[in-house]
């Protein structure tokens, strides 16, 4: 059964060239335990060049499907999804299989228990299995997280982790201000939530998750240029926005 005043969760899924994993992730999301909440699923295709858009056509009758006419980036895709979300909670789910929807219940529980308004996942708090991959990605993420924490004065361990969930009330304060079109959306979401937290308007929790990362050959898209952009985004959205 649902808890408190929360009746529906909206799961937003940005999609870009994910034909290999798309059907598996949609099935996993459809079957995920969300502690009795009604489930709304929004998928936004960011002008994929593979068969992702065709695959999404199969779900048009039961989920909300949107298509960008040109590729804009993850941030722009999330903005489209946020504008069409009607759930009391909104959770971000990547279309790859790096994160496991079977962990939704633990991620949303702090909000349903009335303790949190936003929950960020962390790959570094969990004792669950993690695929061992790139050292420099790990080092870069730790640097970005530390830099972000210095500016936000909150003690997160993994600002780039994929799962982020907000109450609709909090997201409605954040979403209209979002400007990042690419992967800079991750530090921007953290920065904007932290600003609300400093005004005692947003309680932030962190929950450990498992992680099955991809190699570049398997479809991983984030690169060093995105890391440079993320540094600028940490500075920009904490000081100038």
pLDDT tens profile 35-65: 999 999 999 999 999 999 999 999 999 999 9
Range of the domain at 106: 8-239
**Predicted confidence (pLDDT) per residue in 174-225, tens digit:** 999 999 998 899 999 999 999 999 999 999 999 999 988 756 555 555 666 7
CATH code for the domain in which residue 76 is found: 3.90.550.10
3-state SS, residue 153: coil
Tell whether 198 is covered by a domain: yes
**Percent of the chain whose pLDDT exceeds 70:** 91
**CA dist., res. 102 & res. 107, Å (int):** 10
Average pLDDT score over residue span 62-80: 97
Q: In the predicted model, what is the mean pLDDT of residues 128-148?
A: 80
Is residue 38 within 8 Å of 6, Cβ to Cβ? Answer: no
How many separate domains does the chain show?
A: 1
Residue 136 binned pLDDT confidence (cut-offs 50, 70, 90):
confident
Mean pLDDT lowest among 111-125, 129-143, 184-198: 129-143
Is residue 3 one of the residues assigned to a domain? no
> What is the average pLDDT value for the chain, to the nearest integer?
91
Percent of the chain with pLDDT over 90: 77
Mean per-residue pLDDT for 90-119? 96
pTM: 0.91
Q: Is residue 1 included in any domain, yes or no? A: no
**Cα angle 15-173-117, degrees, rounded to a multiple of 5:** 85
Beta carbons of 14 and 81 less than 8 angstroms apart: yes
């Amino acid at each position: 059964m649902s808890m408190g005043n929360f009746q529906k969760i909206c799961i937003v899924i940005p999609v870009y060239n994910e034909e290999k994993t798309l059907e598996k992730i949609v099935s996993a999301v459809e079957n995920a335990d969300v502690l009795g909440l009604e489930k709304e699923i929004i998928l936004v295709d960011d002008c994929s060049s593979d068969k992702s858009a065709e695959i999404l056509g199969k779900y048009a009758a039961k989920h909300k499907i949107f298509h960008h006419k040109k590729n804009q980036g993850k941030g722009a895709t999330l903005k489209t999804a946020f504008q069409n979300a009607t759930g009391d909670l909104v959770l971000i789910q990547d279309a790859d299989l790096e994160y496991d929807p079977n962990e939704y219940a633990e991620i949303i529980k702090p909000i349903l228990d009335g303790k949190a308004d936003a929950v960020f996942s962390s790959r570094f708090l969990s004792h669950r299995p993690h695929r061992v991959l790139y050292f420099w990605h790990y080092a870069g993420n730790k640097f970005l997280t530390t830099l972000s924490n210095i500016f936000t004065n909150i003690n997160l361990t993994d600002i780039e982790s994929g799962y982020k969930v907000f109450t609709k009330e909090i997201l409605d304060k954040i979403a209209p201000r979002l400007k990042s079109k690419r992967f800079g959306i991750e530090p921007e979401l953290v920065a904007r939530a932290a600003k609300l937290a400093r005004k005692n308007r947003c309680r932030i929790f962190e929950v450990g998750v498992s992680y099955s990362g991809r190699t570049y050959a398997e479809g991983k898209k984030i690169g060093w240029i995105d890391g440079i952009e993320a540094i600028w985004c940490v500075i920009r959205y904490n000081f100038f926005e």
